Amino acid sequence: MHRLLPAAFLATAASLAFAGPAAAQQAPFPNCAAARDAGYSNIPSNSPYYGTWLDRDRDGIGCES
């Protein structure tokens, strides 16, 4: 049993390290041209597609049309 604890700890730590970058993933569009090409505009700040770099006037709406 004591030998399983370190293995379980390492497995958990490895899964957290792997999940870290995925959790910090940015919005999928590098710019508004890419967002518009994909059919997105007027992206609200609560959307997973929103990024602060897409909101020039910082009003909470990205890639305003």
How many domains, the chain? 1
- Res 9: pLDDT: 46
Range of the domain at 48: 4-62
Residues 63 and 43: beta-carbon distance below 8 Å: yes
Rounded to an integer, the average pLDDT of 12-28 is 49
Burial of residue 62 (number of CB atoms within 10 Å: 0-12, 13-18, 19+): buried
Give the contacts of 53 (CB within 8 A, at least 6 positions apart): 30, 31
- Res 25: pLDDT: 53
- Res 26: pLDDT: 67
Q: How many C-alpha atoms does 58 have within 13 Å on its Cβ side?
A: 0
pTM over 0.75: no
Tell me 28's DSSP state: S
- Res 20: pLDDT: 38
